[in-house]
Amino acid sequence: MVLTIEGKKDLAALVELSKNLKNLGIRNVVCSTHETYVSITTTLGTKEFNVTDIGYQSIYDNIKNYKAKIFIDYPRIGLIIDKMITDVKETGELQEKVINTMIISSDKN
Protein backbone atom coordinates (compact mmCIF):
# COMPACT_ATOMS: atom_id res chain seq x y z
CA MET A 1 0.00 0.00 0.00
CA VAL A 2 1.29 3.46 -0.86
CA LEU A 3 0.30 6.48 1.20
CA THR A 4 1.59 9.84 0.09
CA ILE A 5 1.93 13.21 1.74
CA GLU A 6 -0.28 15.27 -0.54
CA GLY A 7 -0.09 18.98 -1.31
CA LYS A 8 1.91 21.03 1.12
CA LYS A 9 4.42 18.95 2.99
CA ASP A 10 3.83 20.50 6.38
CA LEU A 11 3.00 19.42 9.92
CA ALA A 12 -0.69 19.01 9.09
CA ALA A 13 0.20 16.61 6.25
CA LEU A 14 2.35 14.52 8.61
CA VAL A 15 -0.40 14.44 11.23
CA GLU A 16 -2.87 13.30 8.54
CA LEU A 17 -0.41 10.62 7.41
CA SER A 18 -0.06 9.40 11.00
CA LYS A 19 -3.85 9.23 11.36
CA ASN A 20 -4.19 7.25 8.12
CA LEU A 21 -1.43 4.82 9.13
CA LYS A 22 -3.09 4.20 12.50
CA ASN A 23 -6.54 3.75 10.93
CA LEU A 24 -5.13 1.18 8.51
CA GLY A 25 -3.12 -0.60 11.20
CA ILE A 26 0.16 0.06 9.40
CA ARG A 27 3.31 0.11 11.55
CA ASN A 28 6.05 -0.40 8.95
CA VAL A 29 6.83 2.69 6.87
CA VAL A 30 9.33 2.87 4.01
CA CYS A 31 10.18 6.44 2.97
CA SER A 32 11.21 7.08 -0.61
CA THR A 33 13.66 9.81 0.43
CA HIS A 34 15.91 10.45 3.37
CA GLU A 35 14.32 13.89 3.81
CA THR A 36 10.92 12.24 4.31
CA TYR A 37 12.43 9.79 6.80
CA VAL A 38 13.89 12.62 8.88
CA SER A 39 10.62 14.58 8.76
CA ILE A 40 8.53 11.61 9.87
CA THR A 41 10.86 10.42 12.62
CA THR A 42 11.37 13.88 14.10
CA THR A 43 7.66 14.70 13.95
CA LEU A 44 5.99 11.37 14.69
CA GLY A 45 8.82 9.61 16.52
CA THR A 46 10.00 6.03 16.14
CA LYS A 47 8.06 4.30 18.93
CA GLU A 48 4.73 3.94 17.12
CA PHE A 49 6.08 3.20 13.64
CA ASN A 50 8.98 1.17 12.24
CA VAL A 51 10.39 3.71 9.80
CA THR A 52 13.16 3.24 7.24
CA ASP A 53 14.26 4.89 4.03
CA ILE A 54 15.82 3.85 0.77
CA GLY A 55 19.35 5.01 0.19
CA TYR A 56 22.96 5.06 1.17
CA GLN A 57 24.46 4.62 4.62
CA SER A 58 23.91 7.54 6.97
CA ILE A 59 24.43 8.49 10.59
CA TYR A 60 21.02 6.98 11.36
CA ASP A 61 22.43 3.54 10.50
CA ASN A 62 25.03 3.95 13.24
CA ILE A 63 22.64 5.12 15.97
CA LYS A 64 20.26 2.24 15.19
CA ASN A 65 17.11 4.25 14.43
CA TYR A 66 16.24 1.92 11.56
CA LYS A 67 14.38 -1.35 11.98
CA ALA A 68 15.75 -2.25 8.55
CA LYS A 69 17.73 -0.49 5.85
CA ILE A 70 16.91 -0.66 2.17
CA PHE A 71 20.01 -0.05 0.08
CA ILE A 72 19.98 0.24 -3.69
CA ASP A 73 23.37 -0.53 -5.20
CA TYR A 74 23.35 2.12 -7.93
CA PRO A 75 26.97 1.51 -9.00
CA ARG A 76 26.19 -2.20 -9.59
CA ILE A 77 23.04 -1.31 -11.52
CA GLY A 78 25.09 1.16 -13.59
CA LEU A 79 27.59 -1.57 -14.50
CA ILE A 80 24.77 -3.90 -15.52
CA ILE A 81 23.20 -1.18 -17.69
CA ASP A 82 26.60 -0.43 -19.26
CA LYS A 83 27.00 -4.12 -20.17
CA MET A 84 23.49 -4.19 -21.63
CA ILE A 85 24.25 -1.15 -23.81
CA THR A 86 27.50 -2.76 -24.99
CA ASP A 87 25.67 -6.01 -25.76
CA VAL A 88 22.92 -4.27 -27.76
CA LYS A 89 25.55 -2.37 -29.77
CA GLU A 90 27.43 -5.60 -30.53
CA THR A 91 24.46 -7.88 -31.23
CA GLY A 92 21.70 -5.47 -32.26
CA GLU A 93 19.35 -7.33 -29.90
CA LEU A 94 17.47 -5.48 -27.18
CA GLN A 95 18.53 -6.53 -23.71
CA GLU A 96 16.37 -7.28 -20.69
CA LYS A 97 17.61 -7.91 -17.18
CA VAL A 98 15.96 -8.74 -13.87
CA ILE A 99 18.14 -7.88 -10.89
CA ASN A 100 17.35 -10.12 -7.95
CA THR A 101 17.05 -8.75 -4.43
CA MET A 102 19.84 -9.68 -2.04
CA ILE A 103 19.88 -9.53 1.74
CA ILE A 104 23.28 -8.11 2.59
CA SER A 105 23.08 -8.57 6.35
CA SER A 106 20.55 -9.18 9.04
CA ASP A 107 20.67 -8.06 12.65
CA LYS A 108 18.77 -10.55 14.82
CA ASN A 109 18.98 -8.40 17.98
Tens digits of residue pLDDT in 68-103: 677 778 888 899 999 999 999 999 999 898 888 776
Between CA 56 and CA 45 the distance in angstroms is: 21
Instruction: Tell me the whole-structure pTM to 2 decimals.
Output: 0.58
Q: With left for phi above 0 and alpha for psi between -120 and 50, is residue 88 left, alpha or beta? A: alpha
